[in-house]
Amino acid sequence: MAVFGGISSPVALSELGIIHDKKIIYLDPWAAATPIVENGRSPSFVFRVSVRDEYAAGFLLPEALKVSDKVGLLLVNNGWGRSNHRALIDELKQRSLEAVSIQWFDWGETSHQNMINALYQDGAEVIIYVGNSVEAVSFIRQLAVKQPPVPVVSHWGITGGDFELLTGDVLHKVDLRVLQTFSFINNKDKRAKTIVDRYREKYQVNSAYDIVAPTGMAHAYDLTHLLVLAIRKANGVLSIVANGVVDNDVKKRTDLLKSALSNSERLKLLINDLLDVQKVSSGNIDLHLNTVASGSMIDDVIKRQEGYASQFGVTIIHSNDGEEALFMEVDEHRIQQVFDNLISNAIKFSPAKGVVEIASCRVDDEIKISIRDYGEGVPKGFQHKICTRFSQADGSSCRKVAGTGLGLNICKWIVEAHDGSIGYENAPDGGALFWFKIPMINKVTPQMPNSDSAAQSV
């Protein structure tokens, strides 16, 4: 669907040729060189969520001018540095100013002493720095030796990696100001707070101050979120077009649109499954518990799945409908998700005109719910990994049954989050039987006061 780029502008610039030759969408959350997006190609397949150098210069220079108009430039000698150079020179010219010194360093440079000396000799009283954290560590360490070190206004590239850790106490000796397009610190936005909370739980840190490369992480999150929205929007538009808006006489166009719709639906399914996997594996699955009857839930699920079953010529039956009412305290939406996955799998692996049977019963203090099909059963070579991620009995690219290989893994997480268990067995007379168990509760019926107590209370 798309390719995500990295932090290096030279690498991104070198990838533009093949990206446009192959017509692949290129998503850039970090690399900031203006030519990445202003690439002269029409149409351009590049979409970026990051600061453009021509815009960055409009923030870097004014911040430097708060210190002095004797501005020196220290720039990495690659496409990113040259892009910043052009933008900064333009900003200086608009103010009838010139840089008092311009110094260049190579990618991965470890010694900046000669460049620092040249900046001082040329009278620079503030330095605008453009480079990544690898080069910035040695620059700051060597600058800190100067008495006093001049202030530095830096592009946000230095905030990637372990810059703060590697510079150590030396960092406190330098007046360093960094362009940031976003910050999680003291951010009251609900989504930002949610991301910080998840980051803290996953990486065992104390606060937003401990997030590594926070701006880059925010850009990556935004771009991933936009991709998800685009896929969902495309799915909706394709659905509308494929179902009537397109001239029905143009068969080839309709077939192509239906193929695109099928692919976008598969991508949407994968994204939703991946999001669920992320939530449950990080312990962020929220359960909203209610008391429900297993029988009525099964009936509701069957009604919802009947249309899908009809596409395969399969009938779903509730084999013990009408037996004793069994109650459980569950997140109804999540348990329905388990039902939907197991039933849809049973439908897909059933023969034409087949039957899928659903039953529930009490086993000790649990409710056991089973879904059975009459297909070929679970292959022996697949049985040991049936609930692991991305596992499919038929992993070939031409498999008959579509899926992401995540559904059963998600079901396992959901059931276990309810203190339950899940499993399967191949039925002796053919087919597969999947089951899950959920702790049973006693349904409490509110007691109405009898006439005597009612009279007494009056």
Q: What is the pLDDT of residues 362-392, one digit of tens each?
A: 999 999 999 999 988 776 654 444 544 333 4
What's the rounded Cα separation, in Å, for the pair 434 and 371? 5
Amino acid at 420: G
Per-residue pLDDT, 337: 83
Residues 184, 214: contact at Cβ < 8 Å? yes
d(CA 47, CA 24): 11
Q: What is the pLDDT of residue 392?
A: 41
Nearest to 115 by CA among 107, 104, 124: 104
Average pLDDT over residues 428-438: 88
Mean pLDDT computed over 20-27: 86
The partner residues of 128 in beta bridges, in order of sequence, read 73, 153
Q: What's the start-to-end Cα distance of the chain, in Å? A: 71
Determine the pLDDT at residue 317: 92
Which range, 164-173, 385-394, 421-430, has the best average confidence (pLDDT)?
A: 164-173
On whether the CB atoms of residues 264 and 231 are closer than 8 A, the answer is yes
- Determine the pLDDT at residue 340: 85
pLDDT band at 138 (very low <50, low <70, confident <90, very high): very high
Q: Which two tokens stand for residue 98?
A: 């010139």
Q: What is the mean pLDDT of residues 215-233?
A: 77
Res 45 pLDDT > 50: yes
Distances (CA, A) of 288 to 79, 95, 330, 435: 52, 60, 7, 22
316 vs 214: which has the higher pLDDT? 316
Per-residue pLDDT tens over the stretch 282-333? 556 678 899 999 988 998 888 888 887 888 899 999 987 556 688 999 998 8
Note every long-range contact of 187-195, with CB atoms under 8 Å and residues 24 or more positions apart, other chains counting.
192/218, 195/221
Instruction: Report the alpha-carbon distance of residue 165 to residue 293 in Å, rounded.
Output: 56
- Buried b / exposed e over 107-144, threshold 16 CB at 10 Å, is eebeebeebbeebbeeebbbbbbbbbbbbbbbbbbbbb
Q: What's residue 322's pLDDT? A: 55
Which stretches within 244-386 are classed as H helix? Answer: 251-281, 294-311, 332-348
For the chain, what is the total number of helices (H) and then of strands (E)?
A: 13, 15
pLDDT value of position 448: 46
| Per-residue pLDDT at 402 exceeds 50 | no
Q: Which domains does the chain have, with CATH numbers?
A: 3-48 (no CATH), 53-178 (3.40.50.2300), 289-441 (3.30.565.10)
Q: Are 161 and 132 in contact (CB under 8 A)?
A: yes
CA 205 from centroid of its chain's CA atoms: 20
Give the pLDDT score at 122: 97
The answer to whether residue 452 scores a pLDDT higher than 50 is no
The predicted model scores a pTM of: 0.54
**37 pLDDT more than 80:** yes
